[in-house]
């Protein structure tokens, strides 16, 4: 493209191109600058806190960042965040793919439109509402399930349950799953809809059943989209504050059982400690926020790797 000496028309073309690519590059750089500024800000504040920390930042089971030698550690928070998000993702992703397929390939056309719309709407429900609903409705209804799990799987220790109100990491995981379901569904459905019609028709012409069509065309095509959608959902699950704070009964102990209260998550801890935090307390909370960052980064990096393995993303025929 672009022989040097041609008609003036070509020049205007190139000007438009240059302006547009400059603009998009510029906003990319602007984004980069903002993010970098945030990263630097967080790192500095976190470094201050960690330098003063008397406990071990990674292994201390305590959060006393306002005490005069501050003592705090993220072990419990890391555990709680990872566990609740893993529960949420294992429950939400398969179901979300199911609903997305339902909307894009199974449901009657008119019903699909309505459901798609309702799903988008649910993605818009503010998390404090999920929290209120979780505390008033979900927690009391969890007791039955927990009793059942305890009866049959209590011997594993992971599912032991003592009959206290069901405000545990498991409940949090389930609530988070319900919360991120609409988000993942929404994006996944959009990706499924983009599957080239020709692919599907070709598969059908070969006599494939509906499931075979989906397995051979829709899912491979939408794979990177599913992962991206899941990452969006995971981002929200990891950083969720209010819904966790209303449903979990936190403590700075790790309970072997997922069904009994205790534990905590980064975002929940930031929200509940922030009210009474002094300046050192704030820095300590920022340091924990930084860990959340790194965690997200690792997960996202892994996801990118998976996607990159099948880079041929173009929806060519």
Partner 1 sequence: MKLGAAAALVSSALLLTAACGSDDNSGLPGAVDFSADHIECAPSGSLLASGSSAQANAMEVWVNTYQANCDDSQINYKATGSGAGIQEFLQGRTAFAGSDSLLGDQELADSRAVCRDGGQAIHLPMAAGPIAIGYNLPGVDDLVLDAPTLALIFDSGITRWNDPAIAALNPGADLPDLPITAFHRSDGSGTTDNLTQYLHGSAPEQWPYEPNKNWTGKGGQAADGSSGLVGMVQQNAGAIAYFELSYAHQNGISTVAIDTGAPEPVAVSVENASSAIAAGEVVGTGGDLALELDYATREPGAYPIVLVTYEIICDKGNNPGTLDLTRAFLGYAAGEEGQGALAEIDYAPIPDGIIEQVRDRVAGMS
Partner 2 sequence: MSQTTVTEEPPRPRPSVRPTTLRRPRLPGWSRGALLLGSAAIGTATGLVAGLESRVQWGLIAALVFVVGGFALTSAVEGRRQAVDRLAASLVWTSFLVAVLPLASLLWETIARGIPGVSWYFLTHSMNGVLSWQDGGGIYHALLGTVQQVLLASVIAIPLGLLTAVYLVEYGSGRLARAITFFVDVMTGIPSIVAGLFILSMWIMMMGFGYSGFAGALALSILMMPIVVRSTEEMLKLVPNELREASLALGVPKWRTILKVVLPTAIGGITTGIMLALARIAGETAPIILLVFGNNMINGNPFEGAQSSLPLFVYEQWAFGTESAYDRAWAAALVLIAFVMILNLAARAVARWKAPKSGR
Question: Is there binding between residue 25 and partner 2 (CB under 8 A)?
Answer: yes
Question: Is there binding between residue 267 and partner 2 (CB under 8 A)?
Answer: yes
Position among 71, 145, 216, 271 found at the interface with partner 1 (CB under 8 A): 271
Question: Is there binding between residue 214 and partner 2 (CB under 8 A)?
Answer: yes
Question: Is there binding between residue 124 and partner 1 (CB under 8 A)?
Answer: no
Provide, rounded to whole angstroms, the least separation between the CB of residue 164 and partner 1.
6
Per the document, the length of the chain is 317
Position among 53, 85, 224, 249 found at the interface with partner 2 (CB under 8 A): 224
- Cα(273)–Cα(285) distance, integer angstroms: 8
Nearest-10 Cα torsion for 188, 190, 193, 194: -100
- Cα(96)–Cα(207) distance, integer angstroms: 27
Give me the residues paired with residue 261 across strands: 168
Q: 63-64 and 71-72 as β-strands: parallel, antiparallel, unpaired? A: antiparallel
Question: Is there binding between residue 110 and partner 2 (CB under 8 A)?
Answer: no
The owner of tokens 């719309």 is 117
Nearer to partner 2, 30 or 253 (CB): 30
Report the chain's terminal Cα–Cα distance, integer Å.
Answer: 25
Position among 135, 149, 231, 292 found at the interface with partner 1 (CB under 8 A): 135
Question: Is there binding between residue 305 and partner 2 (CB under 8 A)?
Answer: no
Nearer to partner 1, 217 or 268 (CB): 268
Provide, rounded to whole angstroms, the least separation between the CB of residue 291 and partner 1.
20
Residue 130 interacting partner from partner 2, partner 1, none (CB closer than 5 to 8 Å by kind): partner 2
The owner of tokens 């008033």 is 136
Phi, psi of 251 (to 5 degrees): -160, 165
Question: Is there binding between residue 251 and partner 1 (CB under 8 A)?
Answer: yes
Give the Cβ contact number of residue 83 at 10 Å.
Answer: 18
- Cα(33)–Cα(39) distance, integer angstroms: 10
Question: Is there binding between residue 272 and partner 1 (CB under 8 A)?
Answer: yes
Position among 171, 185, 261, 288 found at the interface with partner 1 (CB under 8 A): 261
The owner of tokens 């509940």 is 272
For partner 1, the binding residues (CB under 8 A) are 63-64, 66, 68, 135-136, 139-140, 163-165, 167, 245-246, 248-251, 261, 271-279, 281-282
């Amino acid at each position: 493209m672009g022989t040097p000496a041609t008609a003036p028309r070509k020049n205007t073309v190139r000007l438009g191109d240059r302006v547009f690519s400059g603009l998009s590059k510029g906003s990319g750089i602007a984004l980069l600058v903002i993010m970098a500024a945030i990263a630097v800000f967080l790192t500095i504040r976190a470094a201050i806190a960690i330098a003063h920390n008397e406990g071990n930042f990674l292994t201390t089971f305590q959060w006393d960042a306002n005490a005069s030698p501050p003592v705090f550690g993220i072990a419990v928070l890391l555990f709680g965040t990872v566990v609740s998000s893993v529960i949420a993702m294992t429950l939400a992703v398969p179901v979300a793919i199911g609903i997305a397929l339902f909307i894009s390939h199974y449901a009657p056309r008119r019903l699909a439109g309505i459901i798609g719309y309702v799903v988008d709407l649910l993605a818009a429900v503010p998390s404090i509402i999920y929290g209120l609903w979780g505390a008033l409705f979900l927690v009391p209804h969890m007791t039955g399930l927990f009793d059942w799990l305890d009866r049959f799987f209590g011997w594993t220790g992971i599912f032991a349950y003592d009959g206290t109100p069901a405000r545990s990491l498991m409940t949090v995981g389930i609530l988070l799953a319900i919360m991120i379901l609409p988000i993942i569904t929404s994006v996944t459905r959009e990706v499924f809809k983009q599957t080239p019609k020709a692919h599907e028709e070709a598969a059908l012409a070969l006599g494939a059943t509906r499931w075979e069509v989906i397995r051979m065309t829709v899912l491979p095509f939408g794979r990177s989209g599913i992962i991206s959608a899941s990452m969006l959902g995971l981002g929200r699950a990891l950083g969720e504050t209010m819904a966790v704070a209303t449903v979990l009964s936190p403590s700075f102990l790790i309970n072997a059982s997922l069904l009994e209260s205790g534990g905590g998550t980064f975002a929940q801890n930031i929200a509940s400690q922030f009210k009474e935090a002094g300046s050192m307390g704030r820095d300590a909370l920022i340091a924990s926020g930084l860990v959340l960052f790194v965690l997200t980064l690792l997960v996202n990096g892994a996801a990118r790797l998976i996607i990159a393995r099948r880079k041929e993303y173009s929806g060519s025929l």
